[in-house]
Amino acid sequence: MRAAKAVAVALVLGPPALAAAVVREPDCAGLDAFDGSVLLHRDLQVLKASDDLPLAPDAAFTALAVRAVQTAGQHLQTFESKLEGQRREFHALREYLQKVQSKFGQHGSLFSDMQGLVPTGALDEADKSTGKKLLGMLKDDAFSQALHRSVHELDHALDSYSQRTDKHLSSLLLTSANTSEAELPRLINKFFAAQQHVIATVVERVQAALEKALEALPSEYAYVPVVAGPLLKQLSNYTNEQVARSVQQVADSNGTTFCEGMDAMLIDQVIPMLNETMLAMPTVELFAQSSVPAAASVMEVFVKELEDVSKTQLTPLRSKVRGWVDQACALMLAAAPTS
């Protein structure tokens, strides 16, 4: 208001009054301070004409522009320092991943033993340091909430997979009972094509939830999505490619390929691996309790949620899949050509 009054007086009284507007040193703490209205209200202070030597209008606004540029320069220096810090963290993470790759599976290393997809081998100092940094992300409320939502999304996606598979298999059995033997291969291929879409939907939903969690990370962890984002996409693409290849093999064999080995792999390897991964998370919780106490309570809730998904979804799913396989394979083997 005082600055606005000064400008109004200047318009009436002319340059002598305008000269009373003198630019002072800015006092800006955050990056959001470089804003036109903020600069005018903070930096353009109104004084009596007798307090300072008068400035011509052009000189007054030139001084304001100089101060604005100086403030912008200070903010850019701060931003540059943050970027330099993130660059160092990025390179440290990259070097750690290279170390893991070179020692993967070696006796005495972190990845020498695995429970599902969770490494349970011996920790060295680099493992501990990186683990502390990554667990530190859980101290951010926005990220931890997004991570909880991703677990809920996984729960819902697995439940949807179970319900949709039940529906597709029931439809296959019902339709096959009222169709000719020559039509069975087409129905079987249609069933597996539908299942490919169901699995792709599960992968897509989980990937999207995890990507949102990465987006929620605070700025000091900006290097993490740079590394984790592409890895997540590669894993999702690889899963979908493997499912598509398997479905094509099943289609080419009228289903017999599935019943001659793929079914056992699904029941005895894939589902148990996912289950073991979730059940191994208490190991990570223990590390959080000893190394990052501030994140331990969040990790405790996260582990409990994963254990619930394991009990309510993955454990029953293995039995369901076994029943689905028995019914589907009975139909496929009946439809297989005899030599």
Would you give per-residue pLDDT tens digits along the chain (339 residues)? 444 444 443 333 343 433 333 333 444 444 344 444 444 344 434 334 444 445 556 666 676 766 777 777 776 776 667 777 778 887 888 888 888 888 888 888 888 888 888 888 999 999 999 999 889 999 999 999 999 999 999 999 999 999 999 999 999 999 988 888 888 888 888 988 898 999 999 999 999 999 999 999 988 888 888 888 888 898 899 888 988 888 888 878 877 777 777 667 777 778 888 888 888 899 999 999 999 999 999 999 999 999 999 999 988 988 898 898 888 888 887 766 655
Residues 251-294 have pLDDT tens digits of: 788 777 777 776 677 777 788 888 888 888 999 999 999 999 99
CA-to-CA distance for 332 and 206, rounded, in angstroms? 31
Tokens encoding 120: 């349970």
pTM for this prediction: 0.69
Residues 2-51 have pLDDT tens digits of: 444 444 433 333 434 333 333 334 444 443 444 444 443 444 343 344 44
